[in-house]
């Protein structure tokens, strides 16, 4: 679809309509009619539109059942014509029209502009649009029928005093909704994208932007499938989301990828251009196909022998566009609705990190030996360079020890570092009785090209997630040297807090001031009927809870926490799925029943009112509450 949008002109922009209707080549189709309205030129078809008429015309369009908009090509930043519809009182119908400036004809503007016009009519509650023109205007007839208009009836009229055959065409405006039911192949999907989707985005204020990326990083939000189809727009993120949706519907295996210049989670360069491109690969009969639509210059289907060949070829193209700056490729699996660009970037970052177990093999030992020669590694671990044999002996011994697990850290499938995870032995006798399952780990990034890239925070968060979800930990301890300021700052950004400081020895026997950092999951339970409600959670009958609103008590989506029983024993690991802050009176039965405790909204309201009133004597229907929906990730008993 052309990268166009419909612009309702302001009064001072009526100069373009004046220009169009005064151009004999553009208006020649309109010549020779026996009409009597003021300013019409019989021989040329032109219509006078002097400036003194602009205001009255503008007011009529704004106050009556009329729609008038310029067609703007956002790629060349030019108006190329206009579309309109208006109520015909005599016939009780809505007449419509499209006019393309002569020099822009034959480029597909009319067809795409008509589609947008029909969508506007549909949104404004108009059931049908009509237009009338000569039967021998075959290009016009084909344009309208391609959009979905049908010949409603045939008629005749006079043109240059001769009878001419004409047609009245009409369209039911609900036809503007894209039909996804007839798609069968990847060619169908690409054709669907060409016919229905333009490059654009919807911002946090629900304003639509076509071909304009100004303030994108500040205002962008991801759109839902319904929004993409309704408005016919999307960035590469939305377009890949839509193609993934369409391909899944027709049973074609596909994957979504992002190639980008890496940016850390806390990037603040909100005025820069976007550095990301998303694309989709399809897998059919041992071939790999890249469907490209978001990139206007490369629209098409590209065939490859393998996924590796496809990813290399596509990434090389964008690396070249980036002036040679490396671009990691990340496979992603979903696009949530209403994410800011920063949140989507963070999501991609989190997908980049993965882990594999260290292997008892020469290739892994050589890798460790190479990494451990790097001062950024040995300064904090061995305080000297170990020989290859020492590396082999050290890690062979560790691999035989069941008390720890050793993983290679991977970013975008490249081995970049190591993490050792083990149970915290509390050899320094800290008072940590509130925790039942504490783990500790050491890590380093061995690949120098990944240092100082802001990736450390992402690695730490992923290790934490792994330990909480797989090892059923309720707290994690880290013990960096006090002088390792960069590492400590990274850990603190990941919600680690200093709880202790002591003097330790490094591997050479030198004294080192050491910081003890703690990261722990929030623990919580129910205020009444604790064990009864815990059982409902474990049985899968209770997936939500309500609490009084406090800023400090506000969870975030994807937060992990631990539910405990009445004896403060850990029961299960839960992940926050949705958080709703609203007045108590706004909780509906659809929400309340997720708590699994009551048989009606009335009963739920009474139980909660009684309980909350004991905590807050001023509690009433207008009091703010937090309604949290959660998933059980792991049961501990």
- Provide CATH 3.10.400.10 ranges for the chain: 523-635
Is residue 405 within 8 A of residue 355, CB to CB? The reply is no
Average pLDDT rounded to a whole number, residues 315-339: 88
pLDDT range class, residue 598, cuts 50, 70, 90: very high
Q: How far apart are CA 96 and CA 87, in angstroms?
A: 9
DSSP 495-518: T-EEEEEEEEE-TTS-EEEEEEEE
pLDDT of residue 557: 74
Write out the two tokens for 573: 């690991």
Is residue 347 within 8 A of residue 557, CB to CB? The reply is no
Instruction: Show the beta-strand stretches assigned E in 193-248.
Output: 198-202, 208-210, 233-234
Exposure string over 204-219, b if 16+ CB within 10 A, otherwise e: eeeeebbbeeeebbeb
Q: How far apart are CA 471 and CA 193, in angstroms?
A: 45
Give yes or no for residue 438 having a pLDDT over 90. yes
Is residue 228 within 8 A of residue 246, CB to CB? The reply is no
Q: How far apart are CA 402 and CA 274, in angstroms?
A: 46
The full 3-state SS of 16-49, as one line of letters, equals HHHHHHCCHHHHHHHCCECCCCCCECCCCCCECC
- Provide CATH 3.40.630.30 ranges for the chain: 4-173, 358-520
Burial class (CB in 10 A: 0-12, 13-18, 19+), 580: middle
Architecture of the domain defined by 358-520: 3-Layer(aba) Sandwich (3.40)
Average pLDDT rounded to a whole number, residues 370-399: 95
Average pLDDT rounded to a whole number, residues 48-72: 94
Average pLDDT rounded to a whole number, residues 411-424: 91
Average pLDDT rounded to a whole number, residues 384-393: 96
Give yes or no for residue 375 having a pLDDT over 80. yes
pLDDT of residue 454: 65
Rg (CA), the chain: 33
Is residue 158 within 8 A of residue 136, CB to CB? The reply is no
Q: Under 8 Å CB-to-CB from 498, ≥6 apart: which residues?
A: 515, 516, 517
The full 3-state SS of 100-130, as one line of letters, equals ECHHHCCCCHHHHHHHHHHHHHHHCCCCEEE
Average pLDDT rounded to a whole number, residues 13-17: 97
pLDDT (tens digit, 9 = 90+) per residue, 258-301? 998 877 666 776 666 668 999 999 999 888 999 999 998 899 99
CATH 3.40.720 fits 186-351, yes or no: no
Is residue 541 within 8 A of residue 560, CB to CB? The reply is no
- Provide CATH 3.10.620 ranges for the chain: 186-351
pLDDT of residue 481: 97
Name the pTM for this structure: 0.54
Write phi, then psi, for 623 (nearest 5 degrees).
-70, 140
Is residue 447 within 8 A of residue 414, CB to CB? The reply is yes
Average pLDDT rounded to a whole number, residues 174-190: 91
pLDDT of residue 531: 95
Return the percent helix, strand and coil in the chain, to nearest 5.
35, 30, 35
CATH superfamily, domain at 4-173: Gcn5-related N-acetyltransferase (GNAT) (3.40.630.30)
| C-alpha dist (Å) from residue 110 to 141, 449, 533, 585 | 11, 52, 62, 51
CATH of 523-635, one of 3.10.400.10, 3.20.20.140, 3.90.1010.10, 3.40.1080.10: 3.10.400.10
Write out the two tokens for 540: 């899968």
Give yes or no for residue 556 having a pLDDT over 80. no
Give yes or no for residue 453 having a pLDDT over 70. no
- The per-residue pLDDT of the chain, averaged, comes to 92
Average pLDDT rounded to a whole number, residues 124-148: 94
């Amino acid at each position: 679809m052309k990268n166009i949008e419909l612009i309702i002109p302001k009064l001072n922009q009526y100069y373009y309509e004046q220009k169009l209707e005064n151009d004999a080549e553009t208006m020649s189709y309109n010549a020779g009619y026996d009409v009597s309205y003021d300013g019409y030129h019989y021989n040329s078809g032109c219509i006078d539109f002097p400036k003194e008429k602009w205001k009255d015309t503008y007011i009529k369009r704004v106050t009556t059942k009329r729609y008038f908009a310029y067609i703007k090509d956002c790629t060349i930043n030019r108006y190329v014509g206009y579309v309109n519809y208006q109520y015909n009182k005599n016939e009780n119908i809505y007449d419509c029209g499209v006019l393309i400036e002569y020099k822009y004809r034959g480029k597909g503007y009319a067809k795409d502009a008509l589609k947008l016009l029909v969508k506007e009519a549909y949104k404004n509650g108009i059931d049908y649009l009509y237009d009338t023109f000569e039967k021998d205007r075959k290009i016009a007839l084909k344009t309208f029928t391609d959009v979905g208009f049908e010949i409603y009836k045939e008629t005749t009229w006079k043109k240059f005093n001769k009878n001419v055959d004409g047609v009245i065409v009409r369209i039911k405006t609900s036809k503007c909704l894209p039909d996804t039911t007839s798609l069968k192949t990847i060619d169908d999907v690409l054709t669907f994208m060409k016919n229905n989707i333009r490059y654009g985005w919807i911002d946090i204020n629900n304003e639509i932007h076509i071909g304009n990326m100004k303030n994108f990083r500040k205002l962008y939000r991801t759109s839902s499938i319904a929004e993409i189809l309704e408005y016919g727009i999307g960035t590469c993120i939305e377009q890949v989301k839509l193609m993934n949706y369409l391909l899944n519907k027709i049973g074609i295996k596909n994957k979504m990828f992002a190639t980008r210049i890496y940016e850390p989670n806390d990037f603040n360069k909100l005025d820069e251009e976007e550095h990301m491109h998303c694309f989709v690969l399809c897998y059919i009969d041992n071939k790999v196909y890249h469907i490209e639509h978001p990139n206007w210059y490369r629209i098409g289907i590209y065939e490859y022998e393998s996924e590796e060949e496809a990813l290399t070829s596509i990434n090389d193209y964008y690396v070249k566009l980036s002036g040679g700056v490396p671009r990691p490729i990340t496979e992603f699996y979903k696009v949530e609705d209403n994410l800011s660009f920063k949140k989507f970037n963070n999501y991609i970052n989190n997908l980049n990190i993965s882990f594999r177990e260290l292997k008892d093999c020469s290739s892994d030992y050589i890798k460790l030996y190479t990494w451990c020669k790097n001062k950024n590694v040995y300064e904090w671990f061995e305080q000297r360079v170990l020989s290859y044999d020492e590396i082999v002996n050290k890690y062979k011994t560790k691999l035989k020890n069941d008390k720890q697990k050793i993983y290679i850290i991977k970013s975008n499938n490249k081995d970049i570092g190591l993490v050792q995870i083990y149970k915290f032995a509390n050899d320094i006798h800290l008072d940590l009785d509130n925790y039942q399952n504490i783990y500790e780990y050491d890590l380093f990034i061995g690949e120098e090209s990944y240092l100082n890239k802001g990736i450390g925070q992402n690695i730490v968060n992923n290790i934490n997630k792994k330990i909480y979800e797989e090892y059923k930990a309720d707290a994690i301890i880290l013990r960096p040297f006090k002088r390792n300021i960069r590492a400590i700052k990274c850990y603190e950004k990941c919600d680690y807090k200093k709880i202790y400081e002591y003097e330790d020895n490094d591997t050479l026997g030198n004294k080192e001031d050491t910081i003890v950092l703690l990261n722990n999951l929030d623990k919580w339970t129910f205020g009444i009927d604790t064990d009864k409600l815990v059982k409902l959670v474990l049985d899968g009958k209770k997936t939500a809870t309500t609490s009084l609103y406090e800023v400090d008590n506000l969870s975030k989506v994807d937060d992990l926490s631990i539910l405990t029983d009445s004896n403060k024993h850990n029961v299960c690991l839960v992940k926050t799925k949705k958080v709703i802050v609203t007045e108590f009176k706004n909780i509906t039965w659809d929400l309340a029943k997720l708590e699994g405790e009551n048989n009606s909204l009335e009963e739920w309201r009474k139980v909660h009112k009684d309980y909350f009133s004991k905590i807050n004597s001023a509690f009433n229907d207008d009091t703010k509450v937090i309604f949290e929906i959660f998933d059980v990730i792991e049961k501990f008993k």
